Chains A and B, each alone.
Chain A
Amino acid sequence: MTQKTSMREAYGETLVELGKENPDIVVLDADLARSTMTHFFARQFPDRFFDCGIAEQNMMGIAAGLAASGKVPFASTFAVFAPGRCFDQVRMCIAQPGLNVKLVTTHGGISVGEDGISHQSIEDLALIASLPGFTVIVPADAVEAAQAVKTAAATYGPFYIRLCRPKTPLVYDRDYRLDLGKAVLMKPGKDATIIAIGLMVSAALEAAEDLAREGIDCRVLNMSTLKPVDSAAIIAAAAETGAIVTAEEHLEHGGLGSAVAQVTAKHQPVPVEHIAIKDTYAKSGKQAELFQRYGLTAGDIEQAVRTAIKRKRV
């Protein structure tokens, strides 16, 4: 659990692996190849790599044209620039025709830290999840990131995969295989369920361990496929544990919290608490300081679990 690895490196290495297997895989970047790690692919397959410069809108159109003529384009930039900077291009050229474009963004959430709010992507999941037909994956670690990229390559249709900048604890071993659209049971439990995505999964596991010492038995689900969300797992969690806490490095609205609340409201109403950024922008700062300030620590999750459990006794 303490070993930290980079989702971005896993992405870059997986692209090279896929590039060897499938000559139709092409990669685009918007002058961030050294940060998104697509430069691994660029070095190996220079003819199949297109640096589009600092022009994300054009990059999305080019990716759509490549996909429409049979290529499997992976387009990468920071999460703050896609879909934000090119939302209309992603909407009309990729989502509406359902083209086979894979958007893989890095530096998602506020864990980007010191760069400040212009670079902290806290709206991207709400934007991309609003587009019909997109599959959205938020991997929990480097192993799952590699799995997500392979799954996207092997599955026709538009994908959005959101990675983060910092190295993150490994929550999976090398044998893990992503099952698209299925929540992953990380820990069984009966008193409440923590549903998390991205680097909040390791925080959720930490919180569950702490709570176990208080005699609170938490189920932990990794909802790495944010869309289509695994409604059955949410309904089962609500029915069997009676309280849910969601945890994500994103705004409270439009992401995981909203998706889970929508399912429970319709099928199995139970108390739901959200660990997320409340309707605000953050600040420059170190990741740990930011997570403390904006309520994204394991301790915050634990408090939310206690609150949710109290609410179910009403």
Chain B
Amino acid sequence: MVDTQTVLVWILLGFLITCAVASMITKNLLTTVLIFMSYSLVMTIIWIVLESPDLAGTEAAVGAGVTTILFFITLKKIGALHTNKKGKKKKLKEGEENE
């Protein structure tokens, strides 16, 4: 007999692995950051299930909040936020360095 909490944890762990793999294989960097954020949120719930609310609070604030904002700022700084649907960079202006 499997209790509900175990089922929940297994579902969450599956989601965690899905997020981890998806953040690796997506081409769009913005999507990657968003997936990484959802990874942190899932991890927050898992910390609560594992009875460590201290870590859950820290994970929510740092992992989902501050880190994501820092990632966004970095992407904006290197000009990777303006992408088209295929995940490729827009054509750069002349003079700018192509990566």
A and B form one complex = no
